[in-house]
Amino acid sequence: MPACAAEATPRYRPRAASNALKEIVEDSLEELLRSWDARFAKDCGPLPRRLRGQLEAFLRCGDAHFGFLRLRCVSPECTQKQELILPFSCKVRGLCPSCGQRRAIQWAERMVEEVLPVVPYRQLVFTIPRRLRKYFLFDRSLYGDLCRAAYASTRDFLRKQTPAALVRLKRAVPAMVVVPQSFADLLVPHAHAHAICSLGLFSPDGTFHRMEDVDFSGLEAVFRERVLGFMVKRGKITPEVAEAMRAWPHSGFQVNFQRKLERDDRKGLERLLTYMDRPAVSLRRLTYRDDGKVHYQGTRFHPRLGTDHQLLSPVEFMALVTTHVLLRYQVTLRSYGAASTTFRKKAGWIERPPVDGPPRSTFGAAALPAQSPPAPVSAPVPAPPGRGGSREEESDFLKSRKRNWARLIHKTWLVDPCLCSSCHKPMKILAAISSPEQDDVIERILRARGAWDPPWQRAPRARGPPPPEPSTRVVSGETIDPQLDADDYYERPVTREDS
């Protein structure tokens, strides 16, 4: 009987130590750093000082030759005494598909389970014209201004949509999360922002004022004025250029608001948040060909490039990817209004998150289901373990959050790496072995397991010479039409191949 159970239980297998993106980075890193100023600095901006360290850390990600955790089943009832090694991850933001996808899943889960109230939401995508996008390559602090402009525009727009009898809502704010993105479907630089916004406003006491029938078509004009204002204030464009852009028949600014999320669709909200913070490169669409070219397949036809894919040399591909690697202190996940920490503290939502039922509402209270739990603001809910308890409890909570990787792996792959596949008991972490301090220990263990194959001793993959470049490349003319400049604004289901 135990043998049948062992066969039915899937065993966790760590991801492969190498992939197409790692091979591209390894083959083109030195040439990229050597030729950046001459070939790419003019179009892609300055080279971040920490880029070499981030790319080298990515090459070590998931490779047991650079350190790992050693786990073993210590249950006296287990006959197999399974042992497992789990390689360390790099946690490089904006580059590693595996670490980026895990980070996105963890953030989306926390937002849904601890922060965002149970109300309807609308997905908003804020787009700026190509005339302004290049400034974001040379000054990444503009992404913060873009997010603040998106929130302020939405807040002021919703306040103006309230009935005249509710003038007291001047201090009310929506619950809004904004995530800036620097890439489009084919990894071309494309500064824009994804956001979710509550369909209604929250008073300072936490009362929700529903506004489900809002028409967001007028938000584009408000957003345009905000963006042009901060671009002039930051000295990126002159007032004359801003005035000329206001006169364009197609402004290039766009706010897409087609998707609505019902208040009970929490799984859909979590999937959308995961998509908003997804890594730039999808391994499912990336191919490193034998002729030395990199093929990256898009999900739709790109009107400006005149193609649905990119076929580049490894150095050119890495130059595109480098513009999306996040800097050390670059913030990408921004919560505003009722989703901010300041508002949640004042409303008492830190200890009692409003995620178990709809909050107290001024409109349509009778329409709420009778079985819905009362609002967390009026009916206190016991705080979960680790919130505001003793130092010992808080320490346990923080430790559990640090071990969150195992739960996320189980959630995504339905396999718990900390459980023995034979007896289903938790395995014990015996040691954390790191490089370069314990390189000799790493070599002895991997040799004993028959897994010693260090990357510095592997023969590089043989590739033929690249095909000759075409004499000319046909590219469609530039446009300022927002419909033609739209690249990839809508949710694509996240697949396992993306990680």
Mean pLDDT per 10-residue section of the chain, whose length is 499 residues = 45 75 94 94 88 92 90 84 84 89 90 94 96 93 96 94 64 94 92 96 90 90 96 96 93 94 94 94 93 92 88 94 89 95 92 87 46 39 42 48 56 63 80 89 90 83 64 38 37 43
Question: Number of C-alpha atoms within 13 angstroms, CB side, residue 308?
Answer: 5
Instruction: Specify whether 204 is located in the same domain as 73.
Output: no
**Separation in Å, CA 105 to CA 67, 101, 274, 386:** 25, 6, 5, 22
In a domain, 312, yes or no: no
**Separation in Å, CA 5 to CA 311, 320, 427:** 48, 48, 17
Beta carbons of 326 and 332 less than 8 angstroms apart: yes
Instruction: Specify whether 77 is located in the same domain as 115.
Output: no
Provide the 3-class DSSP secondary structure of residue 108: helix
In a domain, 377, yes or no: yes
**79/423 Cα distance (integer angstroms):** 8
Instruction: Specify whether 379 is located in the same domain as 420.
Output: no
Instruction: Specify whether 272 is located in the same domain as 156.
Output: yes
**280/436 Cα distance (integer angstroms):** 30
So what's the pLDDT on residue 173? 93
So what's the pLDDT on residue 408? 60
In a domain, 226, yes or no: yes
Q: In 234-339, where does DSSP find H-type helix? A: 239-246, 266-276, 314-322
DSSP code at position 182: E
Provide the 3-class DSSP secondary structure of residue 190: strand
In a domain, 250, yes or no: yes
**262/120 Cα distance (integer angstroms):** 5
Q: Which of 386, 405, 430 is the last residue of a domain?
A: 386
Cβ-Cβ contacts under 8 Å for 175 (sequence gap 6 or more): 116, 117, 119, 197, 198, 202, 337, 338, 339
Instruction: Specify whether 116 is located in the same domain as 68.
Output: no
In a domain, 178, yes or no: yes
So what's the pLDDT on residue 373? 42
Q: Which domain holds residue 419?
A: 1-17+62-90+415-469
Q: How many domains does the chain have?
A: 2
In a domain, 313, yes or no: no
Q: Find, among 187, 359, 379, 211, the residue nearest to 285 by Cα.
A: 187
Instruction: Specify whether 329 is located in the same domain as 439.
Output: no
**28/18 Cα distance (integer angstroms):** 15
- What's the token pair of residue 236? 């990126």
Provide the 3-class DSSP secondary structure of residue 209: strand
In a domain, 50, yes or no: no
So what's the pLDDT on residue 375? 40
In a domain, 293, yes or no: no
Instruction: Specify whether 74 is located in the same domain as 203.
Output: no
**277/104 Cα distance (integer angstroms):** 5
**96/17 Cα distance (integer angstroms):** 12
Task: Determine if the pTM surpasses 0.85.
Answer: no
Residue with tokens 């003038």: 167
β partners of residue 432:
69
Provide the 3-class DSSP secondary structure of residue 430: strand
**489/145 Cα distance (integer angstroms):** 20
Displacement of CA 66 from its chain's centroid (Å): 26
Instruction: Specify whether 460 is located in the same domain as 348.
Output: no
Instruction: Specify whether 77 is located in the same domain as 159.
Output: no
Q: Find, among 109, 185, 100, 187, the residue nearest to 499 by Cα.
A: 100
So what's the pLDDT on residue 349? 92
Instruction: Specify whether 106 is located in the same domain as 82.
Output: no
So what's the pLDDT on residue 255? 96
Instruction: Specify whether 372 is located in the same domain as 444.
Output: no
Instruction: Specify whether 111 is located in the same domain as 85.
Output: no
- What's the token pair of residue 422? 């034979």
